[in-house]
Amino acid sequence: MNLTANKKTLALSGVLLGAIAAVLAYMGNPKNMAMCIACFIRDTAGAMKLHQAAVVQYVRPEIIGIICGAFLIAVVTKEYRSTAGSSPMVRFVLGMIMMIGSLAFLGCPLRMVLRMAAGDLNAYVALIGFVAGVFTGTLALKRGFSLGRAYTVDKASGTILPIAMVVLFVLSLTTTLFVSSEKGPGSMHAPVFIALIGGLLFGAIAQKCRSCFAGCVRDIILMKNYDLLTIVGGIFVVMVIYNIATGNFNLSFTGQPVAHAQHIWNILGMYAVGFAAVLAGGCPLRQLVLAGQGSSDSAVTFLGLFVGAAFCHNFGLAGVAAAAATADAPAVAGGPGINGQVAVIACIVILFIIGFMPKNKKN
């Protein structure tokens, strides 16, 4: 089936993606975090001991599945293209920035939509920043920003990341090399093979329908094209229904799982994510899919996301979830600390330098 044939098939793909997320949430993934690219990369980095935040350490099969699912469907449908060579270091930095912004907000654009579908008003506030960031990125595109041309390379080059993901999955099942959280979000997960199958299907569908949250907003701004919005709409509707049916819908700013109400940092965090995603050519989900279908440039962006996750927790850049007062501890407002706040501002400055730096006339 060609999922990009018309808006009906695009909407169907969104419904399928939403259904997969709902199943994963029902089977044990954290509430409002049924499928979060940034959070799951962070958890996997923690499992590999790249950071020591004990509550967010677990090799997430969904990440492995998305990359491998995109790879398999691209091979089967003859869309696999091994390419590389387009500003790798800039892409690495953009990946790090997307992770820093996501963890300031506590979620990638996909999780932002899932949180919105659960009634989290903080996510609606963050949407303002995300749209503004994408808009700023489109201004850079209009001024001629480009990461350059990617070139066709040896076919084996594009298989390195999918193979590495398979090895990581096998090692996670057969060795004690990795650690797993005993409490917190990292301890909440669907059964391994259900999570893997969910990731494979999610990656395959996302590859066929070209799903991208930043691309959705970018296309509306640049071309008044709402096609990709129907995918997001399908995910949102399914998750609203799921949350209402399971009693997880809570329309408020407070009492939301793994969230905070520090609105300025929700806005600025997602502003950085939206801006960086446009410059990089796709949101975190899209980067994983492109990496799976052969783009070594997107694989470098994935590594940037991965290293960025380790940086966030090793240097205190990640936001903290809000928590109500208990008999043993005071209330926690949550949000990023001073290190995280400085990092988000620095990331935005770097994005303006990358996106609006005067171009060499010869290029």
Q: pLDDT tens for residues 301-323?
A: 999 999 999 999 999 999 999 98
Instruction: Answer whether residue 27 is part of any domain.
Output: yes
Span 22-55, pLDDT tens digits: 999 999 999 889 999 999 999 999 999 999 999 9
Judge whether residue 363 has pLDDT over 50: no
Instruction: Answer whether residue 68 is part of any domain.
Output: yes
Domain count, the chain: 1
Instruction: Answer whether residue 328 is part of any domain.
Output: yes
Query: CA torsion 276→21→259→311, rounded to 10°?
Result: -50
For residue 57, the enclosing domain spans: 7-356
**Beta strands 83-84; 151-152: pairing state:** antiparallel
**Mean pLDDT over residues 79-88, rounded?**
92
Compute CA distances 149 → 55, 94, 130, 145, whole Å. 41, 17, 26, 12
Instruction: Answer whether residue 1 is part of any domain.
Output: no
Per-residue pLDDT, 3: 67
Stated pTM of the model: 0.95
| Residue 122 backbone phi and psi in degrees, to 5 | -60, -35
**Mean pLDDT over residues 210-215, rounded?**
96
Instruction: Answer whether residue 2 is part of any domain.
Output: no
Instruction: Answer whether residue 362 is part of any domain.
Output: no
Please write down the HEC assignment for all residues of 232-257.
Answer: HHHHHHHHHHHHHHCCCCCCECCCCC
Instruction: Answer whether residue 264 is part of any domain.
Output: yes
